[in-house]
Structure 1
Amino acid sequence: MMSGQIASRRKKDSALKLLFLAATSVGVLALILLLVTILIDGVSSLTPDLFTNYPSRRASSSGLKSALVGTVYMVLIMAPLSFLIGVGAAIFMEEYTNKGWITKLIQLNISTLAGVPSIVYGILGLTIFVRTMHLDRSLLSGALTMTLLVLPVIIVSAQEAIKAVPNTRRDASLALGATKWQTVQRAVLPSAFPGILTGVILAISRAIGETAPLVMIGALTYVAFLPNNLLDQFTVLPIQIYNWIAKPQTDFHDLAAAGIIVLLVMLLFLNMIAVTLRNKFQKNL
């Protein structure tokens, strides 16, 4: 009787594995087909003019200059803010707070916020930064909204990296007479830094590809100028790509495909930096 049940379970497991492999194969093939289609449509539009021209109503003279610069500016504002606040919060939660019910409640809320749809952060940014703080639909509002978006992810990943550091490092540092902060600074953070840095870069990569929060706060779909200060209006790559795809002309669709290729290259470059830095710091440790 038992052997029959075991055989039945093995058959079910085998069927589930085959189903999973089939679904994975279909997903991979669909992704490859999508990438090939984008490359075929967009390679012809990857010219120097694409990076030096502003958006235009004519596809022949339209480019990504304002969207590309807006994306870079937003990352330059968002990255240090999210790193300092997120890593600082993770250190405080893991090293300085008591593990009581209040801490557990805060931790539960942070973990929940990491899975909240991005459009919710757009509504939050619209309410706080655009309307309450009167920052209008500016580059600063967009960067602060995206900082809110990535903060839960950075905090959770940094906490996991700090938790992975053995307690023997802390005990040895404290036994040698180091203070709590010296222990965190010289014993904990060097060991946790590769994981923290990887989490930060991957979170920023996610923010670069987001569109919904910036649409909610009113980032423009057509910007033929560069922002001169933090309170100027702006646009980013995903919004410009969306604007081109929404147009009926085929030439704009080719430009959108070229914009997608540029965005993919940026994301792959950031992921490559994350892997390289993680390996480098792990070797140093």
Structure 2
Amino acid sequence: MSVDFLHWLPAYLALGVAGGFAAGLLGIGGGMLFVPLLTWLFEAQGFARASLVHMALGTSLAIIVFTSISSARTHHAKGNVDWSIVRGIAPGILLGGLVGGWLAKQLSTTALAMLFAVFVSYSALQMFLNAKPKPTRQLPGALGLAGVGTAISALSQLVGAGGGFLSVPFMTWCNVNMHRAVGTSAALGLPIAIMGAVMFFIGGRGTVDLPAGSLGFIYLPAFLGVLIPGVLMAPVGARLAARLPVATLKRVFAAFLFVLAAKMLHSAWLT
């Protein structure tokens, strides 16, 4: 273990604590927090600018594979995962992962950062306005759910997230209870993250100027430093989510996303 890794280890551990807690509380896999802060940490370490966001996305998705397992288990134990929705959306996740992974390889760091900010801001606005869906609105059929899964998975690869920034608003828009939407989103984050991590591993192979310790666009020292506290904190956030009132949970979710979108947009502007 290098001296440089030990120097940055406290920052990675702190990010793991915050991201794991957010994953359990909001059903978002932690990626909305991991991506902008990993980008900042990688930039501070002097990594090649052309690969900064790609590495943050790939590392984030690799971490989310494990935080999603931890978070989803806790939500499932509390009866807040609708597995029929998971089964309906899952077929589209494979196609969306392939499309999103390919697109992420083509886009520049600036384009990816701006895309992150736009979609996260949109999700935050939907939650902040707390628009009431029509009482008769329901989830679409099997084909519709598969299409939703494709879109969510593709966009998740582009922003390094488990899909909660889209799946939670989508489910609540279809009159799914907020607590159940958060729990189901946590379960959906696992296959989305697996697809994303594989695509960023493949996409980054052969890329020049990646730091030592990289597997494609996955930076192993950051992965290991964030992973353990992230997995431990995800159940803590999930237990708190089950006790919070719906209105409070929506406000927390929206405020969280607004702040991170602003930070990522600022980074894109300076790039």
TM-score norm. by structure 1 comes to 0.30
Bigger radius of gyration among the two = 1
TM-score norm. by structure 2 comes to 0.31
Larger relative contact order (Cα-Cα within 8 Å, sequence gap ≥ 6) = 2
